[in-house]
Amino acid sequence: MKRIFVAPDPGHLRLRNASRAVLGIALAVALAELAGLSLTASITGGLAALLALFTVADATVRAQRITTALLPAAGLPVLTLATTLQDVPLGRDAAFLAVVFCGVYARRWGPRGHALGIFAFMQFFVVQFLHAAPADLPELYLAVGVALAAAGAVRFVVWPIERRTPPAAVPAPLPGRGLARPTTRQAFQTTAACAFALAVGQLLSEERWYWAVGTAWWIFVNTASRGETLVRGFRRVLGTVLGILAGLVLALPLHGAPGPTAVLVAVCVFGIFYTAPVSYSWMMLAVTVMAGLLYGLLGVLTPGLLVLRAAETGVGALFAALAVTFVLPVTTHATNDAWIQRALLAVRRCTAEAAERLAGSPTADPAPHAAELEVLLGRVRMALAPLVHPLSPFRDRKVRARQVLALLDDCARELRGLTAVAADPDAGHDARLAAACWRVEAAVEALLRGRERVLEGAGPEAAGSLGSAARGAETAGAGAEAPGPCARAAVPGAPRATAPDGAPALAHLRGLERLLAELDGPLRTAPRSLLVRS
């Protein structure tokens, strides 16, 4: 619990995002109720609004609007299919697995494909949750349309947080072709996990089997390797069990009373959005309590149902673990190397842009690269989570992984300071800045070359991930062998004032030099010593 409240929240973004989500979902449900829609339709609308606010994460406001507008195109056909096949078990199950595969496969198209895939899957899921019938379709269509309009209005008109807070760059999926592409492998993994979860889930319950499928699906969301998926599965089970215990205390005594239930659902929605960026277990606790409250509104909540929910979650987590282990596995160390390398390239680009800005370039801007680094560090933390997990038995690897995370976090801190100095229009340019910048660039390139040499003996998959990411960076103008912007900052004719204004920037650059030198040790360690080959 302490982690939730002490976690950094720059600009109170998590707080504002969670508060806005409560407003948007409450508005969606209120409009459905005012339109005289059924409870089933109101819940469908509320979940649609939640998904629109939770999953749409494009890098620009314009792209977010387009993705939100496309959600009905992805969701309504699936909603129709699910209700039509509700009484045809074999057809329903086959269609559900097809939606699973397509939803995961769509992640190759970045944040938009990711959001549309999740929305489509959840439309099939909600039909099972609510036992909706074809006769309910007109109301469900209206509820989804009203909900998305309400969520869009709150997000883009009433409370446009993104306009005040420039969105960080969303890292593209790791590269590859065919089965070498992680998203393609994950599509097969998720489908296999969901197929077995569906079969065993139906043995446990012919009515509530979908929880096993939902668990298997969500465990694969925002993961890219075997280790990440296993850790996420553990956290999902932990959060669900805690949520069931909380549901016995909070949801069960209410017996579906509308007023108190609505208040607690709003608290759960806030909890989902507030905790999601920092703790998957706490987010799952909030989700589980909210599900129990909704079951209470539907008049079917019992202690036995909550126990069944725990069992179905265990089934889904088990088959997700088996699938990620045996079906086209993506090794943890290959994923780690790719994300760490991209973070290092972001350090290089940000440093170079800051040096050009301090040299007098009016177009250079390190801020987007600093924001990109923050997002990439989030992916690095996810990739290294299996190593730093308290239950990890690999002590040496855990120590080295923590060293890497701490040093990269310190690099981000130095770059934030450097970016702030560069943004000052009165900051002068010390002649030593170009040389220091060049040394930082050279240190990054040395680290990347060192990782390539280490990976030569780690198999083609790891080396291929690193090489593919490097080629992608070169295409974007950040190739390791190309003359860097630091060199351009030192060309004859550039301002070379020796005023002390450059001292803060020089301090940050020297800090980066030191941190990159300290990274050399853990990053040059062979993958079997640092990264889990699992």
Q: What are phi and psi of 372, to 5 degrees?
A: -60, -40
Sign of the torsion angle spanned by Cα atoms 157, 158, 164, 167:
negative
- The DSSP line for 13-31 is HHHHHHHHHHHHHHHHHHH
DSSP letter at 158? Answer: I
One-letter identity of residue 118: I
Give the orientation angle of helix 432-455 with respect to helix 460-475, to 10 degrees.
150
160 three-state secondary structure: coil
Q: What are phi and psi of 167, to 5 degrees?
A: -65, 140
Distance CA 414, CA 417 (A): 5
Pair 60, 167: CB distance under 8 Å: yes
Distance CA 525, CA 265 (A): 48
Alpha helices by DSSP H, listed for 7-157, are 13-34, 39-55, 61-84, 89-105, 110-130, 137-153
Count the neighbouring beta carbons within 10 Å of the beta carbon of residue 456. 11
458 three-state secondary structure: coil
**pLDDT of res. 401:** 87
**pLDDT of res. 167:** 45
**pLDDT of res. 460:** 40
Pair 23, 122: CB distance under 8 Å: no
Give the orientation angle of helix 280-297 with respect to helix 303-326, to 10 degrees.
140
Digit-by-digit pLDDT tens for the chain (534 residues) are 555 666 667 678 889 999 999 999 999 999 999 999 999 999 999 999 999 999 999 888 999 999 999 999 999 999 999 999 999 999 999 999 999 999 999 999 999 999 999 999 999 999 999 999 999 999 999 999 999 999 999 999 999 987 554 444 445 556 667 777 888 999 999 999 999 999 999 999 999 999 999 999 999 998 877 888 888 999 999 999 999 999 999 999 998 899 999 999 999 999 999 999 888 999 999 999 999 999 999 999 999 999 999 999 999 999 999 999 898 887 667 778 888 888 999 999 998 888 888 777 888 888 888 888 888 888 888 888 778 877 677 778 888 888 999 999 999 999 988 888 888 766 656 667 778 888 888 888 888 876 554 444 444 443 444 344 434 433 333 333 334 545 444 433 333 333 344 578 788 888 998 999 898 888 876 444 344 333
Q: For residue 216, give every residue at least 6 positions away whose Cβ sits within 8 Å of its Cβ, in sequence order, or none.
A: 190, 193, 194, 197, 316, 317, 319, 320, 323
